[in-house]
Structure 1
Amino acid sequence: MNTAIALALTLALPPATPAAAPAAPAPKVFHVAPDGRSAACNQVNPCSLETARDKVREALAGGMDRDVEVRLAGGVYRMAAPLVLDRRDSGPDGHTVTWTAAPGARPVLSGGVPITGWRQEGRLQVAPVPEGLSPRQLFVGGVRAVRARGGSCPAATCDATKTGMTGAVKSGVAGWADPANAEAVIKVRWRNYRCRIDRVDGDVITFVQPCWTNSASGTGRTGPAWDSTTVDSSRYSKVSFFENAAELLDEPGEFVFDRTARTVSYLPRPGERLDDVIAPATETLLRMEGASRVRIAGLGFEHAAYRQPDTAEGYAGTQGGLTLTGATGPEDHAGRFYTKPAAAVVVRGGRDVTVDGAAFARLGGAGVILEGGTKDSAVTGSAFTDLSSGAVYVGDTDPNPPAELRGERNTVARNTITWTGREFTDAVGVWAGYESGLRVDHNTLEKLPYSGVSVGWGWNQPVAQNPDMRDNRITGNRIVDAMMVAEDQHDGGAIYTQGPQPGTVISGNYLNRSAYGNTERDGNGVYLDEQSSHITVEGNVITRVGYKWISNWAGYGIDNLATGNWTDTTAPELSGRGSRQADNHTALERLPDAALAVAAAAGASPGPVEQLEPDLARTGSATQSATEGAAAAAGALDGSTVTDTRTTSAPGSWWQVDLGGPHRIGTVEIWNDASMTTADAELLVSATPDFAQATRVPLPGRALRPSVVAVDAEGRYVRIQRTGTGRIGLSAVMVHP
């Protein structure tokens, strides 16, 4: 056959079908059950968690060319010790080892111990506590009980010093049968301290060590040299409450643990059964040390403990849920040696580790910690609720660690975080230390006692001026009700940063109600604190913030840019060389469609967006009684909650706005000034300037930021007037239809 004929025949044939790629082999599957005792680890004869781990190790060591799955049947896995995975448990190259819920199952790893043997003693129910357990938390039918607590004790009575506290007699502590069961809870600005009483001698209360020394000044170990938030500082104002004394057990839902008798006493809520009472006992439920290509999917984690606060170490809070521990140590004003809380899941030195679709609830400490040089790892699609500490901790506090210990390219995304910091109220929702390439993306965070997302560390200390930290992205998060006023934590923000972070971007977030209703001007939307530099804040929606929508107060925070954001107030210009604001939409009365779209898209799933209310006072004219200094009456109508107006202290001092015509008035927002000068006043709404037929609403106590007053009246003139002697001091007054 000649060449031409052969070529023609070849072209006439249909093209050859390429050989199909070989199908990926099905994963090797091991089956686990709470009561599994078999060594087979199959669906009919499941095994325990530890047996499955060992079987996986054998399979991996023998060579594995496929993924591995460990499927957990539903039920509660009682964890007397953590399940530990290390390098031997890593997925082979190109493959993953997945620990996951069996289809349709809801497995829960629990560190809790049931409390049984209840007997009635008067109004109380009393039960023995197993040896080795010191209950700090108690969950009754899944609901958190409260350690019995009293009211606050002001500094005038409970006077804190470097060595202890006076006031045992007047506070009642001296009369308690066993004061050593109790601890003092003290909050100073952003810090939370919890130290157990050691003894009472007359009027003097002495606390366990090293907790009290680590909470007081003078050690050189308690943070920046300028810090004035120790228990013996001028900013200390009170013991927030003493707790865990039998004499304080007076409210349903409270309990006390008696260390000497080893009993727990509980005052039940109406109709409550005590057949499901759990106390957290085991600290960490899952620990990974150097593991790679491991995925945790769909598992529940409950009742993990946090033992340190119940020891002599106590809880000497520093910031973000970290504490100072140890009786001695290097002097370090940058916080390199602070201790993270215990967590249900700890990943140390991990590579390509994922925690996905997990549920963390009813924990005595934190949810997840990624530390010790963990890289390319993620916490995604998980739910965190009812945690004593924070939800997710990423990274460490050494600004320049060796390469293998740097945190890089980690992700916290699409998680739902609610009601964290239930006990340790200085904790945050998501905390990150010195990280690079971190993504905190499209999480929903709600009901937080302190800051929502905190990235960076080191304050303004020299050791922290050139850290391994850059290119972080905090994007698309929904943060609502951060810095909740009832928890009395101050000086934070919905999003908080520290340190130079070149390339870091904060964008597309919806931040609503941070420190809303506070009495102080220190709750922020985005807070670029302590040396925060080279950060872009762009396209965020920031509303109803107790102080500044953006704060960059420190001169050494340089080259920051805030642009294209939407907010209902104004803020001073950014401090720091090269920092600037450009093209922001401030002092808004209504959010435009573009802002509503950004807010609606934020978070792990769509959530409601709180539209701003029209302000009838914005175009009104303001007057006031005799003015103190240069604070003009119009300062309360300029759309800013930062500028002030202030009267003298003459009897019956007042401020008012003429709306220009009659209006139906629904509510009035009163934003106090920085010195909290407006107190014991009344709100008057009148159709005439003489207020002869005015609607009057009493305003007892201090006005907040803001006090929202329901009026529901017709009027043209709105007045705020002292009922006695004292100043009216306001940063804003908003009148809503």
Structure 2
Amino acid sequence: MKKSFTTAGLLFTAFTLYSADIYVSPAGDDRNSGEQGAPKATLTSALRQAREMRRQSLPGVESGVTIHMAPGDYCVYEPVFVRPEDSGTPEAPTVITSDGVAWLNGGVRIDGWKRQGKLLVADVPAFNGRPLDFRQLYVNGKKAVRARDVQDFEKMHRIISNDPVNEILWVPAEAVKGILKSPYAEMVLHEMWCVANLRIKSIEIHGDSAAVRFHNPESRIQFEHPWPRPMVTTDGHNSAFYLTNAKELLDTPGEWYHDISTRKLYYYPYPGETVTDAVVPAVETLLNVEGTLDRPVENVRFENIGFEYTTWMRPSLMGHVPLQAGMYMTDGYRISPKMERYQNHKLDNQGWLGRPESAVTVSGSKDVDFIGCRFEHLGSSGLDYKWGTQGGLVKGCLFRDIAGNGIVAGSFSPGSHETHLPYDPADGRELCSGLIISNNLITDVSNEDWG
């Protein structure tokens, strides 16, 4: 550490790194200088140091700042934030890169498995001081199946009728008789062009039929909104559904169930399978790049960075009743008389939407790029350019094993904007423009939210 002596005493310089390179390693320490031989431990600390280097115009920043992340896992308990103060310029960008793949990891490892009959059981640890809940489990690198009543989706049961007045779905009694005492069971209902996740509140058997009611707010939204609606036809092609999240459904190798009341995790292993690596996701967002319209985040590039293990808990807490593209309704209902909204179409309903969480979000930015990055094992969207973005390049990235959308791009229906209204903000900077998505591999996405 360089020192300077004055008559007032001994002063220490704030930084000892006089280059535009900062190094980070899973084996580092955030108290380190960030030099190659003394790396930081977290990207957050490295960004703070880069921010201060630019603020003080330290030597080297005129050519840009590069944060070198050693390959490995960087576990996070909250999103890494990138702010306007982290911006570069076209000639001197801020670059976060790895010479292998540095993973921002939102997962928690599950150890201590014990045999219990055909099942393996383990205790679920607390996360960041709180009990942990989740909607995905990855065993030996592969997503396991949340316990459900069918393995072949072609063999799903179908509803009998839809009773929106009493907020009841009538289903075959044989479909639900095995989960009458299951406290947290869910129904995944296939509607016209999307699926809804509905938390089951009660089941009443009436002969060969059963009345299924659901918790709020999804019950109110599900039965009030007219589109998309459950299908009830004259040829038997009614809406199909499957049941999930009940221990009674844990009957097939590869399935799991989490009992949140006892904090026990159950897994049905395949014959001869040994669980060497089990991970559950604990966070919803790993990276949040966010500026404002007047002070955007500019000229930031991510290279060879991986983003893995996120969840999305709204379906467990409030259900999930989407309109389309995975965007969930916060309210939606039929109106009468119809409103004259379009030249050739009278509007018969109103609705407002929310946007699912994403592993990486970009808002209020200009030229924020992702090059050769990996987005894997994610519980909702992968990468979301939400609003107010100009430019940006997504190139050579891998999007794989993602519950919802791989990439979402564009501001089109903010939460307070009625979704049928054309979105034409007074400040056009709110819109997203100029984004280039090129030469990426997008595979096995929307594998939970089929809409």
CA contact (8 A) 2:232 2:239 kept: no
List per-residue Cα deviations over 1:122-173 (Å, max 9, x = no partner): 00011122343222111001111011111422223x7554512234743234
Which structure has the greater CA radius of gyration?
1
The secondary structure found in structure 2 opposite 1:350 is strand
**Residues 257-276 of structure 1 aligned to structure 2 (within 5 Å):** 257-276=258-277
1:205 to 201, 212, 229: 212
Please give the residue correspondences for 1:161-310 in structure 2 after superposition, counting only pairs within 5 Å.
Answer: 161=164, 163-167=167-171, 169-173=173-177, 175-176=178-179, 178-202=181-205, 203-216=210-223, 218-219=224-225, 227=227, 229-231=228-230, 237-290=238-291, 291-310=297-316
Render the CA deviation track for 1:330-389: whole Å, top value 9, x for unaligned.
999898842222111100111010011001111111110001111111211101111111
Does 2:54 correspond to 1:39? no
Q: Is the 8 A contact 1:184 1:239 kept in 2?
A: no
- SS at the partner of 1:209? coil
What's the counterpart of residue 60 of structure 1? Answer: 54
Task: Name the counterpart of 2:320.
Answer: 315
- When normalised by structure 1's length, the TM-score is 0.50
Q: CA deviation at 1:177?
A: 5.9
Q: CA deviation at 1:208?
A: 1.5
Q: How does 1:692-731 map to 2 (within 5 A)?
A: none
Equivalent residue of 1:251, what SS?
Answer: coil
For the 8 Å contact 1:210–1:327, the answer to whether it is kept is: no
Question: How far apart, in 2, do the equivalents of 1:270 and 1:79 lie?
Answer: 34
Look up the equivalent residue of 2:327 and give its one-letter code: L
Contact in 2 for aligned 1:192/1:318 (Cα 8 Å) = no
Paired letter, 1:310: S
Aligned partners of 1:78 and 1:111 also within 8 Å: yes
Separation in structure 2 between the aligned mates of residue 352 and residue 60 of structure 1, nearest angstrom? 18
Aligned to 1:418: 443
**Equivalent runs, 1:189-588 vs 2, <5 Å:** 189-202=192-205, 203-216=210-223, 218-219=224-225, 227=227, 229-231=228-230, 237-290=238-291, 291-312=297-318, 314-325=319-330, 337-398=352-413, 399-401=423-425, 402-426=427-451
State how far apart, in whole Å, the 2-side matches of 1:84 and 1:259 are: 30
For the residues of structure 1 that align with 2:398 and 2:368, how far apart are their CA atoms?
18
Once the two structures are TM-superposed, the CA of residue 415 in structure 1 deviates from its matched residue by: 0.5
Change (3 A) 1:40 1:366: same
Structure 1 residue 129 and structure 2 residue 106: aligned? no
Q: Do the aligned partners of 2:403 and 2:446 also contact (CA within 8 Å) in 1?
A: yes
Q: Deviations over 1:163-191 (max 9, x none)?
A: 12234743234x43643321101112211
How far the C-alpha of 1:115 sits from its partner, in A, is 1.5
- Give the paired residue count: 388
Q: Which has the higher contact order (CA 8 A, sep 6+)?
A: 2
Cα RMSD between the aligned structures? 2.6
User: For 1:386 and 1:286, how far apart are their aligned partners in 2?
Assistant: 18
Looking at structure 2, the residues matched to 413 and 271 of structure 1 have their Cα atoms a distance apart, in angstroms, of 42
For the structure 1 residues 95 and 133, does the alpha-carbon distance in structure 2 shift closer, same or farther, using more than 3 Å as the test? same
Structure 1 residue ranges (4+ consecutive) displaced by more than 6 angstroms after TM superposition = 330-336
In structure 2, distance between residues paired with 1:351 and 1:116: 43
Return the alpha-carbon distance in structure 1 between the equivalents of residues 407 and 349 of structure 2: 22
Specify the SS of the correspondent of 2:448.
Answer: coil
Tell me the SS of whatever aligns to 1:298: strand
1:153 aligns with 2:153: no
Give, in whole Å, the separation in 1 of the partners of 2:348 and 2:363: 25
CA offset at residue 68 of structure 1? Answer: 0.6
Q: CA 1:215–1:167 in structure 2 vs 1: closer, same or farther (change >3 Å)? A: same
Percent identity between matched residues is 28
For 1:94 and 1:196, how far apart are their aligned partners in 2? 52
CA distance in 1, matches of 2:52, 2:264: 45
CA distance in 2, matches of 1:56, 1:159: 58
> Is the alpha carbon distance of 1:325 and 1:336 closer, same or farther for their aligned partners in structure 2, counting shifts above 3 Å?
closer
Q: Is 1:179–1:199's contact at 8 Å kept on the other side of the alignment?
A: no
What is the SS of the residue equivalent to 1:215? helix
Give the match for residue 730 of structure 1: none
Q: Which runs of 5+ in 2 are unaligned?
A: 1-17, 151-155, 292-296, 340-346, 414-422
Instruction: Tell me if the contact between 2:134 and 2:313 (Cα under 8 Å) persists in the aligned partners.
Output: no
